[in-house]
Amino acid sequence: MDIGTIIGIILGIVLVTFPIISGGAAGAFIDVGSMMITMGGTLAALLISFPLPKVKSVLVVTKKTLNSGSLEIVPWYSTLIDLATIARRDGILALEERLDGISDDFLKRGLQMIVDGSPADAVNQIMEMEIENMEMRHAIGHSIWKGMGSFAPAFGMIGTLIGLVNMLQNLSDPSKLGGGMAIALITTFYGALFANLFCIPLQNKLEQRTQEEVHLKRMLLAGILSVQSGDSPRMVGEKLEVYLTPAERAANLQKGE
C-alpha cells in the first residue's frame, strides 16, 4: 500500500478543516444545497461524458493508487537473468517448468509463446498490443478523474452564481446579505477542494503508475525477446540494465561483488 497517498489525503483534510474549526464557524461551511450542486452536478456531467460501465470501472483502476508507491523492477530484472540462465543451459523448453511460479501474466504469456515456438516478430507484435491495450484502459480512468477535476470547480462556480442571484433578490434586507454571500461562496470552496485534494492528485498518481507499468512491461518484453534469441545471461543483463536507474544499477553491481 502506498502510505504516501493515505498520508496526503489525511494531511490535506486536517490542514483544511483545522482553520475552519479553530475559527469557530464550522457550521458555516456545511450547506447541503451547495453540496448537491457541486457533487451532484459533477456526477451528472460525468455520466453524460462517459458510459456508466466506464464510470464504475474507474474504481478498479483507482485501487492502483493505494498499491505500493512504485513497481519494483529489480526483482523482475533478476528473474529474467535466472530465466536466461536456464534457457542457455537447458534450452528454451526448460522454461515451461517455471511458468507456474511466475505471478506476472504478461511475462508468463510471453514465455509461453517462445516455449511454443512462436516467431520473434509475432511475440513482439502481440506483446506490444498488450501494452497498448493496457494504456488505453488506464487512460479511461485518467480521463474520468481529469473530468471530475474540471467539472467540480465549474459547478462550484455555477452554485456561486445561483447564490448571488438569490442574494441580489434580498437587497432590501441588508441583514441577509452576509449569509447569502457565504452560501454563494461555499460552492466554489467545495468544488476547488474536491478537485485539488482528490481528483487532480489521483489523476496524477494514476498516470505515474501507468508509466511505471509500461516501463516494467517493456523491460519484460526486452528480456523475453533476448532469451528467445539465445543471448547469454550477461548479454541479457546488459540489455535490461538500460531500464534501471543509476542507483539500481549500482546496487546490482555491489550485490554481484
pTM here is 0.83
Are 69 and 221 in contact by the 8 Å Cβ rule? The answer is no
The tens digit of pLDDT for each residue in 135-187 reads: 998 888 899 999 999 999 999 999 888 888 877 777 777 666 666 677 778 99
The tens digit of pLDDT for each residue in 118-138 reads: 999 999 999 999 999 999 988
pLDDT of residue 64: 64
**C-alpha 88 chain-centroid distance:** 38
